[in-house]
A = this chain, B = another copy of it.
Amino acid sequence: MPKIVDKEAKKMEILNAAMQVFAHKGVVKTKIIDIATTAGVGKGTIYEYFRSKEEIFTSAYTYFSKTMESMVQEALSKEDDPLKQLELILTISLDAFVHIGEEFADIMMEFWAEGIRNKNQDILDVINLKGVYSNYRKMIQKILKKGIEKGVFKPMDTKSTASVLIGALDGVMLQWIMDRKAINLRKVSVVLLDSFIEGIRKRE
């Protein structure tokens, strides 16, 4: 009886369109009609799949962060050395920025900006709880703990150290976004890794 459409697939199409536009114009400047046009549907159709602009945004964020996380998990599972694992996390994150494309970086920044700007706790919760942050922190913490056990790293406050590492990573990307000419991301990432690992490595 009904017109058969793969609702899920179409929802993803719209989500993809939304992410594209978010990355290009920024969340605030993105109008529903922009997303609709990009997705090749009418404005009203958007509301068949999402309740509101905010729901589109949070969906995009969740999707994005899950993708990112599984990429990292996948890579980590193939490596056992804590030192190498740390290196992997940095490399993958930065590579995601540099290689997979500027669009990737831009949308990540959009999420940050939106989280920062939004005093509305809802969005902040989505970002913190489902988001890259707490998961990344836990992942890194686990690596650090294992490294300490193995005697590769010296004893430390793993939680704070994990925060510092994530912070450094984010911060460097932030600067890069703000002024790509001024920052050589490759160079900086090497320095970041070296000086950081130098700082936590156990010495004879």
Interface residues of A (CB under 8 A from B): 24-29, 109-110, 112-119, 124, 127-128, 133-134, 137, 156-157, 160-161, 163-164, 166-175, 177-179, 182-184, 187-188, 190-192, 194-200
Q: How far is the CA of A197 from the CA of B116 in the complex (A)?
A: 29
Contact A110 B116 (CB under 8 A): yes
> Would you list the 4 A-B pairs with minimal beta carbon distance, nearest first?
A167-B171, A171-B171, A195-B199, A199-B199
Shortest CB distance A173–B (Å): 8
Query: Do B188 and A164 touch across chains, with their CB atoms under 8 A apart?
Result: yes
- Across the interface, A163 reaches (CB within 8 A) one of B128, B133, B134, B188, namely B188
The number of times this chain is found in the oligomer is 2
B178 touches A127 (CB 8 A): yes
Contact of A161 among B160, B178, B195 (CB under 8 A): B195
- In the complex, which residue of chain B has the Cβ closest to the Cβ of A157? B191
Q: List 19 additional contacts besides A110-B117, A164-B188, A195-B199; criterion CB under 8 Å.
A: A27-B117, A109-B116, A112-B174, A113-B117, A127-B178, A128-B182, A157-B191, A164-B168, A164-B191, A164-B192, A166-B175, A167-B173, A167-B192, A170-B170, A170-B171, A171-B171, A171-B174, A174-B174, A195-B196
Q: Are B133 and A175 in contact (CB under 8 A)?
A: yes
Measured in the bound complex, the distance between the Cα atoms of B112 and A197 in whole Å is 28
A195 and B200 contacting across the interface, CB-CB below 8 Å: yes
User: Does B191 lie within 8 Å of A161, measured CB to CB?
Assistant: yes
Expressed in whole angstroms, the minimum distance between the Cβ of A118 and any Cβ of chain B is 7
